[in-house]
Amino acid sequence: MKQKIVIEVQMHCSKCRSKALKLAAVADGIVDFVGLEGPEKDQVVVIGHNVDSAGLTSTLRKKVGHAKIIKIEEVKPEDKKKEDEKKKEDEKKPCTVYPYPYFDKVIVYEDDYPNNGNCCQM
């Protein structure tokens, strides 16, 4: 079950933020995404499978500062079929090539010694 966990942590500096993100990244379970949210970037967001939210909150309290769980919600898988169909439609655009018009060659011979009807006798 993939879930999204939002934990509010008191972070005063950028060092505290990076420490909180590192702790969230190595949390128990399979972590897919770790990020910061909120107007003051004080909420740590973790998306993953079987992530221990209580254990993560406890670890953040010990290492960073006061932390509390804001919400835990299940993330539904997106329809990849629709995205794949859209990509396939975009890829199948027709390519039209207009060839040059074909003309037959016209060969004209010119006689170097035209016969004017004058006879020459020797």
24 within some domain = yes
Query: Which tokens in the block code for residue 47?
Result: 């998306």
How much is the pLDDT for 91?
67
81 within some domain = no
How much is the pLDDT for 101?
76
| Other CB atoms within 10 A of residue 40 CB | 9
How much is the pLDDT for 90?
65
Query: Which residues contact residue 107 at a Cβ distance below 8 angstroms, ignoring those fewer than 6 apart?
Result: none
* 12 pLDDT above the threshold of 80: yes
What whole-number distance in Å separates Cα of residue 66 and Cα of residue 117? 120
CATH of the domain at 52: 3.30.70.100
Burial call 49-84: b when 16+ CB within 10 Å, e when fewer: eebebeebbebbeeebeebeeeeeeeeeeeeeeeee
**Residues 50-107: tens digit of each pLDDT:** 999 999 999 999 999 999 999 999 988 776 666 667 676 666 667 778 877 777 777 7
Q: Above pLDDT 90, what percent of the chain?
A: 51
Domain residues for 53?
2-74
